[in-house]
Structures are given as C-alpha cells and as structure tokens.
Structure 1
C-alpha cells in the first residue's frame, strides 16, 4: 500500500486574536512521530526566541486542549514552571516562567515536549486515520503549540512515519532515513518562513500523481488523487484547463519565474461538499466529488469552478481580513479575465458579467469592500469580496483601458508580490498611470456599500438640415456615483458607441446623427456594476436566504421571498424555486410541516423549461427531511436517491444537492436547528 503526505503552503487566516508575545521567533524546530493507527502524535519543539520588548519574565503561547504539554525546559535544560488558562475557543493559553528577567535583545531557548490525540473522522478539522490525515497550523486550528508569530527566521521538521508513506512537497526533502518499519523525512528552510506554510500537511492512501504541462511548458499542474474514486476522464479534462489557465496567469501577471508548478492534493471522502485550503504551490482539496458524469462547458464559467479560483490565489497577494480584496477579489478578477480571453465571444462576456452581478445584488445590508471580512458572516463576505471585488478590478480596467491596467498590474507584481499591499499602495499605482487623482473612484466603490442604479429616457428630433438630434436623459436613483458610461445607438445595422461621464442625479446628453437611431442602450456590455431591472426580483429571493441565515430573521426572510413571488407571478426571472425553497425552510423552522411540504413541491414544480435547478433539487431533499421529521424515513430514502440521480445529470452544477442527499442516505436527518445555517 502506498501512502502520500502532501505538504501545503496554507496561509490560513487567523480567526482569533493572536497571542501578543513580546518576542520574535528566530528558530522553530519540530521533531515529531505520527502514529496513524491510533491517531497519536508525540513530539518535541525547540525554539530560539529574541526579546522584542523592554523586558519579560514569562513566555506565552497557546495550544488546543487536545495537546498535552509534558514539560517545558529552559536553555539550561531545567524544567520551567507554567500555568494554563482555557479560553472560549477550545484553546489553552500557557504562561511559562523564565528563571530570570530577560531584557530587549536577549535570546531565550526553550524546549516543549508534547503529545496529542486527534479525531479519526475525515469530517473533522484535523484528523488522522489509517487511510489519510490532515494537519494544519494556525492560531485557531493547530496540531502544534502556537507562539503568536506568523514567521520564523529558520525552521525545520523531522517527521517520522510508517515507511509506507511517501511525501509530496513543493520542494524536495533535505534527506530521509529509512528503518525496517519507519521513515524519517527531514525538511528545513533557512530564511524567513511562514509557519503555517511550513507546518501544514495532509496525507492520503493509494494515490496517483497526474501531471499536465502548459503548451509552452512554463506551467506544470499536478493532481494527486486516488484514481479508484476520482474519475480519470474528469481529472484529465480538469488538468487541461488548469494548465492552460496557469500559463495565462503566469504570462499576464509578469511574475519573473521561468516555470511554475502547482499541486492539487485530494483527501477526504467524495460525498460531501468540497472544501479548498490553498496557498503557495499546493492546494488541498477536501471531499471532492468523483464526477463520473460532467459537462466540460462548466470550465468556461468562473462561478462554478472553484478550481480555477484556487489556482488564481497562487497569483494573488498576501492578505489578512482587512485587505482580503487583494486575495479574494484579485483571484476572481484573474479567473474572469482568463475566461474572457479564452472565450472572447461577446455573448460569453455578457453572460459572465451577468452571472457575477447576480451574485452581488441583494437587499441584505453589506459592508464596504474596504472593510474586508468579519467573522460572523465569514462565508458570505468572502463571496462578496470574490464577486464584487472582481467587478471593482474589471471597472478599473474599463476606466484606465486594458493597456494601462496591465502596466499597473505588472508594477503591482514587481513591487508587492509576496508582500502585503494596501488600498493606498494600489491607488497610487493606478493614479500614476491614470495621470490624475482617482480618489472619487476608490471612495465610491471601496468605501460605500451601495450600488448605483441608472434609468434612461431618450427622444429624437429632425433638424432643418435633415439630420437627427438624439436627446438622452440619464437619472440616478439613490446615491450618486461618478462613472463613464457607454451609450450604444443602433442606426440600421450599425452600432455607434458614445461615452459619457455621469456624475449627477439627472443629466441630459445630446448627439447628432445623419439618420435617426432605432434604439439606445445604456452600458449594454455591463462594464459598470449596477442594479439591473431583471435582477431586482432575484435579489429579493437571495435576500430571503441571507436574512434567514445571518440574522435569524424569519419575518424579513418571509417578506423577501413573498415579494419575489408577487413581483414575478409567472416566474419570468427564474427566481421562484429559490423563494419557495426559502419559504419551505422557514416553515420547517416554525414547525409547520404541511406548509413546508407544499412550498417544497412548488419549488420543484416551478423550474423553468422543465429542467431542475439547484434549489428545486434542494427542495426535494428538504421534502425528504420533512418526511423523516414525521417518522417516515423509509419513504425519505428514495427521495434522496432521486435527488442524486437528477443531480448527476450535471454534477458540477448540482454538487451541493448531491452532497446533501448522499449525507442523508448515510444517516437520518437530525435536528431542524441545522437549518438555521442552511446557506447555499
């Protein structure tokens, strides 16, 4: 049996306050042994710290409660006294007393001996079992004691495992030592190293490494998977697109590397919704469904291809929650740009932009992009940064023009790649190329949460000379935005674009033509993010889901869903399945099972063109849940199976429904309380 351990460069976001210790980590060395049979880890940490404050008497660190600290020793190998205090995050905060006061610039050497036992279920955040494991290092989820610093000047890891294991890493090990049953792998890095990159790893059994190179051989993508469960034709198709996208990212960003390699390693089961942990040269994919049936056209759409997004993060910028725009938003921009370059047809661009706007518009209150992420709505705000953030960069490209924007992009990579970039830094780069201040643009799109709405009216008048004067009135509703907009006039078979600057609540523009135009369109290619009449109804449906999940506000959620149905009684917008699904879930939460089943049935019956939508399949699953609440699991099981059968007709699109249905086939529906977090 062949095992693989995959090292990941996981720049995990710190979700709790870091331990603020007045020391710098100079060296962090770990010598550990992993026992996959009983999910145990035993190890020793050796640290060299330097005092950064005036003086200290204790060394502080945190560790999960499943880690047992056996001893802490000082540089004389004497035991240090320590105390630990639990906090609300299932962590212990440790305080180890030094033998004497240490002053600024002094060095401290300590050794920490520990052991721990992890969960064996691959559904856990950290786990070890005979088939696979996942270990991550951060302040919230960590398999090692955490000393409150992101980096160290020198790191090493000696990892002893069964000799059946093989390690996959972004670089080669320094050396290995093999015994009859065990093998030790030696890794080290001299120079500044991010600890969560170096000490995060995963493992899986019986895997194969599939490799694909880009056409110009500059980009190599690897997929490490168990081919007995991961459909090889899907993997081949996926690798082709990833290699092509990687070549595009590498070429257009101007990163000065002759070649790039990125590895995707799949662990976990194949029957729940997939999750990605991605940074550096490796992405760990948890629970990726084995798509035995798939539509390759999904690779032409950024919204349904997380793989392209995660690959783009390799080319994004180091970020924290406050400037996540340059990670989430920039990765989204790169994917959209790749899609539009690969499929340059105008209808593809329009569809891509419409899809993105659909994910942005809602009546749910949002934070400005500059505010980054909070933790209470982490998933939703990440989505908003990904979608609205990418549109911010698309609009900036439209404002500057492609050539100037590319100059900004190359300067950004030259100055800030692998360094934290701020909004101010980026604004300065853009203004240098633009030639004047862009404060108006950055202020309205990054520091406001609103989105503009424009309406257009026009009329023509014949002049005495036989020409036509077209008068166009553009009105802004709500907050006034300043943006250049394109007006497209149709005269015969010709499309004539005219660019105007809109910066008032009501403005009139006049144009002269030799012949009268038959139509006038405002921004027909959606270059500017704005409210669209066709999407207002869908926004009500999406708002219902958001008020339900994030505010637990049943009344407002119901109102938004009912507004959707009242404003569009014939389901012309296709929003009815979402609204009926939302009403059904809300009815379950209010213990009205009969009404819930009625709503779920209406959701299933309201799909357009007789084809299932994601929400009609989710409604089918929730109908089965209600049957279980009524004590009828026998009839619920075929309902779940039907959802899987329907979903497998397009599994990339219907993955959440397939995952949920397979989950309920394995185990009964539990508590309705889980529906409070029912965010799709």
Structure 2
C-alpha cells in the first residue's frame, strides 16, 4: 500500500486486520470507518451469556443481536463527519480531508495520527448500549465519568487533525496547544450538535477536574503551570499532565468569552482569530508565544498579563459579589461590589455579568485587580429582574456567597 501526505509529519500510524467499512462524505471531508468483522472476546462472552439466558437479556435490556459490529461504523462515521464540519467552521480549512477511523480492542484508549484515528470499540456503540454493557463487560462502576469520556472521544481525536497534525507544536511546553485545544473542541462540538445546556455541563465538568484532589492535600491546578506540560506528572502523581487538557481548554474558553459579542451572540472575532492561527501555522511548528502573538493581533493589545496568569502561572481567583439596585426618576442604577481573592496584587481579570430584564438583557463588565474590593455603578435601561455573574463559566474561578 502507499501512504501520501501533503505536509511533513513526525510520525504515522497504521492498523491492519479484517474490517467492514462505511464512508460518509461532505464538501469538506471524507470519513471512512473500519469495524472489526469479529467481536472481541469480551463481547463474545456477553453474547453467549445472553443467548443462553433470557432472564439476563431482561435484566440488561439487551438482545444478543445488538452485539454486532455490522452497521455501527455508520454512526461513528456520521458523528466524525459532523465534528469535522464543526471544526472547519470554527478553525478553518486544513490539508487533511480524508480520514480513516479504526476500531481497537481497548475501552479507554484512543489515538490520532495524520489521517488515521484509533477509537475504542465501545465508542462505536450508542450511549444506551454502552450503559447496559458497562458493568458486565468492562467491570467499572463510575459510568458517568466513563460516558463523559466517550461523549467526546471521537471529536477530540478528529480535532487533533488540526491541533497536532496540521498545526504542530515545538516542545512539551506547548503541548497544551494540542491537548487543551482538542479538549475545548469537544465542547464546541457538543454546543453545536446538542445545545447550550450540554456545553455548559461539559465546562462545569472541566472545572471540577481542574480542582480535583490529586493527593497530598493538593488539587490538580496546584501542580504547576500548564506550560510545564508532561513535567506536571510524577511517580507520585502520574495524572498531573491531565491539567494541560482541562485547564488548557479553559484558557481557550476564556479567550473566546472575552471576544464574544453578547449583544449579537456572535463568535465572529474568536473564529477570525482561530482561522488566522491555523492559516498562519498549518504545516509549521508553533509555540505558545506564536499563539500569543496571534491573540494580541486580534485583541489589539498586549496579552502578557493573560498568558502570565493562566499559562505561565497557577493562580485561580475566588470572587464574591454584592448587588444594589436604585431607582431615581424612572431610571435604574445597578451597583456591583466585587472582591477578588486568592491571587497576587498584579492579577487582573474582566468579569461579565448578565442583567436580565422583563424584555431582553444587558451585559456589563467589571475588571478586578489584586485582592481589593471594587464597586462600579451601571445605568440600566429598565428594571432588572435577575443578575448572573460569570455567565457561560466565562472565567475559571470559584464564586462564594
């Protein structure tokens, strides 16, 4: 066989075996999924049990004929094609347009190579079948966490065709540009295909992981800056590198939210920035500073403060807010008093607030610096009925009452 690429790559992956295949095409891409002709040993065991025991079928709500690989490749191909189209919209075109997706027998391991993706066989089944297979086949009990992984594994690996295989990175210091961006790509795919509620749920889960306990009285976020890459892991805390996935995703999310036009509900500025980055560095090696230069171009100002805090630093703020509403002569005035804690005196961050009215809403911003309280008054067009601080989890933080 012959394998060709329009751009140079540091590595290539191949898979071999007896497969059935199905292809999904669009104007942007062609996705071919390969499924094993034979079931794995684990699935063969479950199928035999189901065939011999009707009570087990009822308990699991699963029929033996559901445990086949015929046809399931089409679902994976459609999902992967949709993910490609979402990323093409947000990030722009790349040279890689033909992608092959292959099953592999592990349940929690995936890998992305240029034009070739390995997915766990469980990713080819829909959520209902996975849930019923989860305990009897896999033997694990934390279904929610396991399903969270499967919910985004295909789109994550598709995203690596942008982040790693089209735009390459210089060293382990820049690995967050690959894994963090691919993780946030999962969130964008969820937002487009399943809606805002699923997107917000996903971001809450990422935040929970950032603050998760890794032992020795430390959270994942406290291990070090994401710029350290794989060096965040150690023999005592091997999962440390996971921070580049979850906090790296949040860094991109915060940049998106600072560029977001709340009045038009538009991502136009964010999309322009990401397409510029992809267009500039496709087929090239990019560093964190290269990405920062693109960000500064689209923010039209120095972004040293942001990268020093969120990429090269470890501080995460804690906020408390109070609101006072006054009416005078038919006009309404909102005073927001805010306190930022748990950061150094130079730490600054703009916080958005959505003010909801009976008809419509308005968005106001308050930029806090250091650990001192700040108050600011806003003139409102009508009487507010509610105020939401930090909508869309726009800033990685903790809010206390």
Instruction: Give the one of 236, 243, 246 matched to 1:387.
Output: 246
User: How far is the alpha carbon of 1:379 from its aligned partner?
Assistant: 6.0
Judged with a 3 Å threshold, the aligned counterparts in structure 2 of structure 1 residues 246 and 458 are, in CA distance, closer, same or farther, namely same
Aligned to 1:371: 228
Matched length: 337
Aligned to 2:268: 403
User: How far is the alpha carbon of 1:406 from its aligned partner?
Assistant: 2.2
Aligned to 2:309: 444
Structure of higher RCO (CA pairs closer than 8 Å, 6+ residues apart) = 2
Instruction: Give the one of 299, 303, 312 matched to 2:159.
Output: 312
Report matched runs for 1:188-587 at 5 Å. 194=9, 196-197=11-12, 200-204=13-17, 206-214=18-26, 216=27, 218-229=28-39, 231-255=69-93, 257=95, 260-268=97-105, 272-285=106-119, 288=122, 291=125, 294=128, 304-316=151-163, 317-319=167-169, 320-343=171-194, 345-362=195-212, 363-364=218-219, 365-374=222-231, 375-376=233-234, 380-401=239-260, 402-463=267-328, 465-479=329-343, 481-492=347-358, 494-505=360-371, 506-513=373-380, 516-532=383-399
Judged with a 3 Å threshold, the aligned counterparts in structure 2 of structure 1 residues 295 and 382 are, in CA distance, closer, same or farther, namely farther
Is contact 2:32-2:100 (8 Å) kept?
yes
Judged with a 3 Å threshold, the aligned counterparts in structure 2 of structure 1 residues 295 and 486 are, in CA distance, closer, same or farther, namely farther
User: How far is the alpha carbon of 1:280 from its aligned partner?
Assistant: 0.7
Q: Distance in 2 between matches of 1:336 and 1:292?
A: 19
Q: Give the strand-richer structure, 1 or 2.
A: 1
Q: Distance in 2 between matches of 1:289 and 1:232?
A: 14
Judged with a 3 Å threshold, the aligned counterparts in structure 2 of structure 1 residues 515 and 286 are, in CA distance, closer, same or farther, namely closer
Judged with a 3 Å threshold, the aligned counterparts in structure 2 of structure 1 residues 263 and 514 are, in CA distance, closer, same or farther, namely closer
Q: Distance in 2 between matches of 1:532 and 1:404?
A: 28
Q: Give the helix-richer structure, 1 or 2.
A: 2
> Which runs of 5 or more structure 2 residues have no equivalent in the other structure?
40-67, 132-143, 213-217, 261-266
SS in 2 for 1:425: helix
SS in 2 for 1:394: helix
Is contact 1:302-1:339 (8 Å) kept?
no
Judged with a 3 Å threshold, the aligned counterparts in structure 2 of structure 1 residues 409 and 296 are, in CA distance, closer, same or farther, namely farther
Is contact 1:262-1:281 (8 Å) kept?
yes
Is contact 1:170-1:281 (8 Å) kept?
no
Is contact 1:457-1:474 (8 Å) kept?
yes
Over aligned residues, Cα RMSD in angstroms? 3.2
Aligned to 1:161: none
Q: Distance in 2 between matches of 1:448 and 1:295?
A: 43
User: How far is the alpha carbon of 1:457 from its aligned partner?
Assistant: 1.0
Judged with a 3 Å threshold, the aligned counterparts in structure 2 of structure 1 residues 193 and 241 are, in CA distance, closer, same or farther, namely closer
Q: C-alpha deviations, 1:468-523, integer Å up to 9, x for none?
A: 43321111121054222222223445433222222242110112346553432211
Q: Distance in 2 between matches of 1:235 and 1:532?
A: 44
User: How far is the alpha carbon of 1:288 from its aligned partner?
Assistant: 4.6
User: How far is the alpha carbon of 1:394 from its aligned partner?
Assistant: 1.4
Q: Distance in 1 between matches of 2:30 and 2:352?
A: 41
> Which runs of 5 or more structure 1 residues have no equivalent in the other structure?
1-166, 172-188, 535-680
Q: Distance in 1 between matches of 2:126 and 2:395?
A: 39
Judged with a 3 Å threshold, the aligned counterparts in structure 2 of structure 1 residues 443 and 293 are, in CA distance, closer, same or farther, namely closer
Is contact 1:302-1:335 (8 Å) kept?
no
Q: C-alpha deviations, 1:331-390, integer Å up to 9, x for none?
A: 1222222222334x4433322322222222234232211121225278634432122111
| Greater Rg over alpha carbons, structure | 1
Judged with a 3 Å threshold, the aligned counterparts in structure 2 of structure 1 residues 294 and 486 are, in CA distance, closer, same or farther, namely same
Q: Distance in 2 between matches of 1:472 and 1:295?
A: 49
Judged with a 3 Å threshold, the aligned counterparts in structure 2 of structure 1 residues 382 and 246 are, in CA distance, closer, same or farther, namely farther
Q: Distance in 2 between matches of 1:284 and 1:396?
A: 31
User: How far is the alpha carbon of 1:526 from its aligned partner?
Assistant: 1.3
Is contact 2:33-2:101 (8 Å) kept?
yes
Q: C-alpha deviations, 1:186-244, integer Å up to 9, x for none?
A: xxx9x9955632xx53332x321222123x3x211112221442533543222111111
SS in 1 for 2:394: coil
SS in 2 for 1:196: coil
Q: Distance in 2 between matches of 1:380 and 1:292?
A: 28
Q: Distance in 2 between matches of 1:330 and 1:281?
A: 18
Is contact 2:104-2:118 (8 Å) kept?
yes
SS in 2 for 1:326: helix
SS in 2 for 1:304: helix
Q: Distance in 1 between matches of 2:125 and 2:255?
A: 37
Q: Distance in 1 between matches of 2:357 and 2:90?
A: 37
Q: Distance in 1 between matches of 2:92 and 2:159?
A: 14
